[in-house]
């Protein structure tokens, strides 16, 4: 693809899965050196929902020094990657941790111009009534939506892959969109939207063109990786350029987050992208 190809405009790189061969604070500069001006992150302190000011300031300084904008941030979700898949529907300590994190994450997002906050739903817990978990989830998502609205951000709801996340209840586009609509109805803010992760949806066997046709107008962020190995586009079976063409044609003009596992050094994994590094904005 030549540099006139516009499918890869507004591409960002997820620094929680790429450039992980480097310490966290060196990753923004590495992304910038590879030509990216936008990045996203899972919550960078997986066991600390309320890190001290020094840690938050250090990450902010690393982003600013590199000239990278944080365009997406997860709320506290436990250990990722790992067995955890969010905290907001988990009764007890983990829910308390999520609640403690909400304002911290929202304030950090505002301080760096981040306009999308992703809230992972959390696993089903054996012996706990699923309806009780759903009620707790709605309560906490309402809290998160209001915090996101306060800082001018969208609240994202993501479906994960059933094979990798067998206890996570949102494993279809329809399920994630339904939760987003439930949150919007509860708050009246209309700022909850679908995070369309093409890798997870494809692993679940969804018809991706149909998902795009049906839900593009309710999508607040897109993430990509190839199937089945979660590698860079071109390493698997998905025609990602065609899917991005369809997304753009459907009116989606937001960020495309690279959330794949590099096969080797991260900086060498971007050869599939069209155009010069300066075009990745």
User: For the ranges 3-7, 88-92, 120-124, 166-170, which has the lowest average pLDDT?
Assistant: 3-7
* Location of structure tokens 């999308």: 116
Q: Is the pLDDT of residue 8 over 90?
A: no
Residues 40 and 69: beta-carbon distance below 8 Å: no
Q: Is the pLDDT of residue 1 over 60?
A: no
Residue 4: DSSP 8-state: T
pLDDT in tens, 31-87: 999 999 999 999 999 999 999 999 999 999 999 999 999 999 999 999 998 889 999
Positive or negative, the Cα torsion across 211, 145, 109, 16? negative
pLDDT band at 7 (very low <50, low <70, confident <90, very high): low
Read off the pLDDT of each residue in 235-247 and give the average, rounded to a whole number.
96
Which positions are annotated as active-site residues? 158, 259
pLDDT band at 6 (very low <50, low <70, confident <90, very high): low
Read off the pLDDT of each residue in 193-210 and give the average, rounded to a whole number.
98
Read off the pLDDT of each residue in 184-197 and give the average, rounded to a whole number.
98
CA 29 to chain centre: 20
- Enumerate domains of the chain plus CATH numbers: 11-268 (3.20.20.150)
Q: Is the pLDDT of residue 4 over 50?
A: no
Structure tokens at 84: 């955890």
Residue 136: DSSP 8-state: H
pLDDT at residue 177, rounded to an integer: 98
Q: Is the pLDDT of residue 100 over 60?
A: yes
Give the CA distances from residue 136 to residues 2, 128, 236, in Å, rounded to whole numbers and listed in that order.
49, 12, 38
Structure tokens at 1: 């693809």
- Which of 8, 16, 66 has the alpha carbon at shortest distance from 260? 16
Residues 170 and 161: beta-carbon distance below 8 Å: no
pLDDT in tens, 244-271: 999 999 999 999 999 999 999 999 999 9
The percentage of residues in the chain with a pLDDT greater than 90, rounded to a whole number, is 92
Structure tokens at 188: 């009246």
pTM comes to: 0.94
Element at 242 (helix H, strand E): helix 240-249
Q: CA 156, CA 126: separation in Å to the nearest integer?
A: 26
Cα Rg for the chain, rounded, in angstroms? 18
Residue 48: DSSP 8-state: -
pLDDT in tens, 103-134: 999 999 999 999 999 999 999 999 999 999 99
Say how many residues make up the chain.
281
Which residue pairs from 177-184 have beta carbons closer than 8 angstroms and sit at least 24 positions apart in sequence?
Answer: 177/215, 177/218, 179/121, 179/137, 179/141, 180/155, 180/218, 181/218, 182/138, 183/138, 183/141, 183/142, 183/145, 183/155, 183/157, 184/145
């Amino acid at each position: 693809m030549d540099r006139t190809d516009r499918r890869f405009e507004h591409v960002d790189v997820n620094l929680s899965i790429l450039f992980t061969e480097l310490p966290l604070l060196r990753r923004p500069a590495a992304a910038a050196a590879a030509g990216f001006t936008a990045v996203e992150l899972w919550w960078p302190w997986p066991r600390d929902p309320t890190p001290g000011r020094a840690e938050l300031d250090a990450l902010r300084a690393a982003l600013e020094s590199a000239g990278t904008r944080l365009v997406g941030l997860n709320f506290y979700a436990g250990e990722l990657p790992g067995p955890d898949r969010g905290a907001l529907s988990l009764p007890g300590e983990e829910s308390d941790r999520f609640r403690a994190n909400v304002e911290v994450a929202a304030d950090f997002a505002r301080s760096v111009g981040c306009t999308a906050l992703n809230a992972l739903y959390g696993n089903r817990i054996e012996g706990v009534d699923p309806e009780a978990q759903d009620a707790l989830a709605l309560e906490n998502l309402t809290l998160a939506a209001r915090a996101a609205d306060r800082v001018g951000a969208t609240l994202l709801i993501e479906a994960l892959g059933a094979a990798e996340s067998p206890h996570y209840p949102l494993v279809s586009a329809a399920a994630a969109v339904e939760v987003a609509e439930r949150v919007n109805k509860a708050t009246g803010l209309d700022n909850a939207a679908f995070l369309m992760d093409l890798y997870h949806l494809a692993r679940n066997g969804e018809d991706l063109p149909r998902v795009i046709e049906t839900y593009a107008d309710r999508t607040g962020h897109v993430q990509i990786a190839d199937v089945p190995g979660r590698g860079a586009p071109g390493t698997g079976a998905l025609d990602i350029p065609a899917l991005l063409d369809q997304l753009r044609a459907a009116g989606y003009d937001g960020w495309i987050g690279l959330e794949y596992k590099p096969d080797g050094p991260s900086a060498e994994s971007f050869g599939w992208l069209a155009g010069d590094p300066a075009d990745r904005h």
